[in-house]
Amino acid sequence: MNGIELDYQVWLERIQNPEFAWQLLVLVLAAFGAWLVHRVINVSLFREQEGRVERRLHEFTRKSLRRILFPLSMLIGVFVGRAVLEAFGYPVAVLDIAVPLLLSLAAIRMLIYLLRKGFTPGPAVKAWENLIGTSIWILVALHLLGWLPYVLRALDDFAFTLGATRISLLAVVKLALLIALLWVIAFWLSALIERRMTGAAHVSPGLRVAVSKVSKVVLVALALLIALDAVGIDLTALTVFGGALGVGIGFGLQRIASNFISGFIVLFDRSIKPGDVISVGTKFGWVSELRARYIVVRDRDGVETLIPNETLITTEVINWSYSDRDVRIKIPVSISYGDDPEQAMAIMLEAARISPRVKDDPEPVCRLMEFGDNGVLLELRVWIIDPENGVNGVRSEINLEIWRRFKAAGITIPFPQRDVYIKSDVRGVGGDEV
């Protein structure tokens, strides 16, 4: 208690000292300068155009930039004021405490910004933000109290030796923090590369996804290797881990590895690209996303189906837009034998023009396919250029127009007919005629 009372008396004397007012003035001026920088940055991120305000940056990026610049600007002001006070021989004890507090605040906001940019917002990200903020404030508190060296020494003493490598609790904590930090940076950089590739108009969609996925894998692996090397772990020791991982893949993870590798095969051979219209089994729709383990296929009902990448390699896939987006639709129609097939074919060609989705080149054609049991089978063939909008809508429009025009022209569409003959010579039991 005596030590606490002594510290209290020391700080009370410092506060009552007139020289404390100069340090307080430096903090106030630094805060005011940071506020001015905040205002200038806030105004410069907007511009007036045609009587409306247009944002130059994304709202989240703008807010995060202001939150990071405020403590950094104030920190610069504190450094300048501290240098001035030291030049005149004034004490700077209060400013020495303000410096680590501002640094920790800037570090917290920078890490939270990277965390939100690298990962999808959710409860897990919120928990990580709280953990990061609490950890940094604890480190700052230990540093200000002078306990940090003792805590680090205690963590380093708690260690064991594995072969020729000494592993301490401090090394484990450093490794976890470095991996978390470098992974956040890696995911942030990969997200930045993905956004840049998305905005590249002259790059094919498949190449955009391929570059984004390869960059993410390379950056994450590089972050892990840098973290291991930074804490002093010999990278040659990873050969044992690599062998164990290979055994694990061989026994229980072969499907996951197969889907992962199949995803890269699909990307690099460009067989399926975002926006392609495909059919896999009974599933029909257009590819909305290509992921590391699966692709997302969205159908006309708004239902999204996740198809594993291995399925695209091992089964038959119909790509309606592989080389071009032109798709031909066949519309069969039957007419009775009493009607003129040439007249019916001409009417069908006219009805094909009713849909605006039907192409003029190649032109619609009509063929007489066969003479069936119930009538003459005709077939109308048209080309459309947007299969992602479905084919049944075009077929329905043309069939309705054919029905109207056939009805106006007196052309009948036959239905199946069967003639039944009943014999009159039917005998009952015992041979008696009924």
220 pLDDT exceeds 60?
Answer: yes
Domain 273-319 matching CATH 2.30.30.60: the answer reads: yes
Q: How confident is the model at residue 333 (pLDDT cuts 50, 70, 90)?
A: very high
276 pLDDT exceeds 60?
Answer: yes
Tell me the CA distances in angstroms from 51 to 46, 48, 57, 156, 421, one per residue in order. Answer: 12, 6, 19, 63, 86
Contact 111, 181 (CB under 8 A): yes
Contact 191, 197 (CB under 8 A): no
339 pLDDT exceeds 80?
Answer: yes
The mean predicted confidence, pLDDT, of the chain is 75
| Identity of the highest mean pLDDT range in 10-14, 63-67, 403-407, 425-429 | 403-407
**431/140: higher pLDDT:** 140
Is pTM beyond 0.75? Reply is no
Q: How confident is the model at residue 3 (pLDDT cuts 50, 70, 90)?
A: very low
State the pLDDT at residue 267. Answer: 76
**353/179: higher pLDDT:** 353
C-beta pairs of 387-395 under 8 Å, 24+ apart in sequence: 387/277, 387/320, 387/321, 387/325, 387/327, 388/275, 388/277, 388/286, 388/321, 389/357, 390/300, 391/327, 391/329, 393/357, 394/329, 394/355, 394/357, 394/358, 395/329, 395/331
Contact 66, 55 (CB under 8 A): no
- What's the pLDDT tens digit per position in 101-124? 777 777 777 777 766 666 666 666
314 pLDDT exceeds 70?
Answer: yes
Structure tokens at 393: 């809508």
Q: How confident is the model at residue 18 (pLDDT cuts 50, 70, 90)?
A: low
State the pLDDT at residue 381. Answer: 93
| Identity of the highest mean pLDDT range in 21-35, 221-235, 354-368 | 354-368
State the pLDDT at residue 380. Answer: 93
Q: Name residues whose C-beta falls within 8 Å of residue 296's C-beta, 6 or more positions apart in sequence.
A: 287, 288, 289, 290, 304, 305, 306
Q: How confident is the model at residue 55 (pLDDT cuts 50, 70, 90)?
A: very low
**257/379: higher pLDDT:** 379
Q: Give domain 327-409's CATH number out of 3.30.70.100, 3.30.930.10, 3.65.10.10, 3.90.45.10.
A: 3.30.70.100
> What is the SS3 assignment for 394?
helix
Task: Report the 10 Å Cβ neighbour count for 422.
Answer: 5
State the pLDDT at residue 434. Answer: 46
291 pLDDT exceeds 70?
Answer: yes
Structure tokens at 36: 């001015």
21 pLDDT exceeds 70?
Answer: yes
Q: How confident is the model at residue 401 (pLDDT cuts 50, 70, 90)?
A: very high
**396/424: higher pLDDT:** 396
Contact 369, 332 (CB under 8 A): yes
